Structure formats: C-alpha cells, structure tokens
Structure 1
Amino acid sequence: MPDRTKGLLEVKAFNRNGPPEFDIADFRMYASEIQEKPYMLDVDYLILGYDMSDDGVVTIKDVWLKKVWQIA
C-alpha cells in the first residue's frame, strides 16, 4: 500500500491582478491541521499566477513550486 503522507502536492492559482487568496490565510485552521497531520508541513505547492482577458482567455504568466515556509 502506498504511503499517502509523502509526495503530496497542492495546486494553487491566483489572478495576478488581485491578491493571492489561498486557504492558508486562515492560520488557526492551518495550525490545527499541522498538529493533527505534521506531514502536511512537507507538502509541495504548485502555484500558478494567471491573467484573464476581457473575453475570458486565461494565460499562465508565473509558475512556482514551493514549500509552505517559502511562500511570502
């Protein structure tokens, strides 16, 4: 059976014309999750910054792969 606590990846996307609004903004909830599942500290975050044209075309402009402590 595979180890479901390793190799975890979360994908986050945000419109570059607005502020990033990730669920990690709720710090108390995140801290509680880490206490229950400490392996979540090692999750990789694939972060996509995109622009959207007036006619709805999405263009990815930035791509990052970071750990939670690297996101500022």
Structure 2
Amino acid sequence: MGHQRRPLRGRTVLVTGAARGLGAAMARECDRYGASVALLGLEAPLLAEVAGTLRHPPHTGRRTSRTTRP
C-alpha cells in the first residue's frame, strides 16, 4: 500500500536517538511522509546507516560534547 499524500512535505523534523530503535523508526516514517529529517544520535556509524535508508537527503549532526551524571 503506497502513500499518495505527503502530509509532512516541506517540514523539517528533528529526531533524537535516531541511530536505533524507536528514533530510527520515527526518522524513517517521517521521511516516508515527505519530511526533511534531521538525525541526532551518539553512534555515527548507525546514524549513517539510518541516513542511507531515507529517500530525502537527511540533515545529520554529530556529538561535540557529552556530559555524564555523577
């Protein structure tokens, strides 16, 4: 069953945790519905893998710092 409508066309969606699991699934679905997707996550190789599955060119971000909780 194909999607004729693209309700997110012209929109940009920011997905955090996009490297795996629910975040990756949300990124793929938003892309499927026509959105330009910005992917954020901690694992660059996995983000690249998800980005490779998208129809529209994704925006990708890389981690520049990480804080840890005591």
Q: Which has the larger radius of gyration?
A: 1
Q: Point out the structure with the larger strand share.
A: 1
TM over 0.5: same fold? Answer: no
Higher relative contact order (CA 8 A, sep 6+): 1
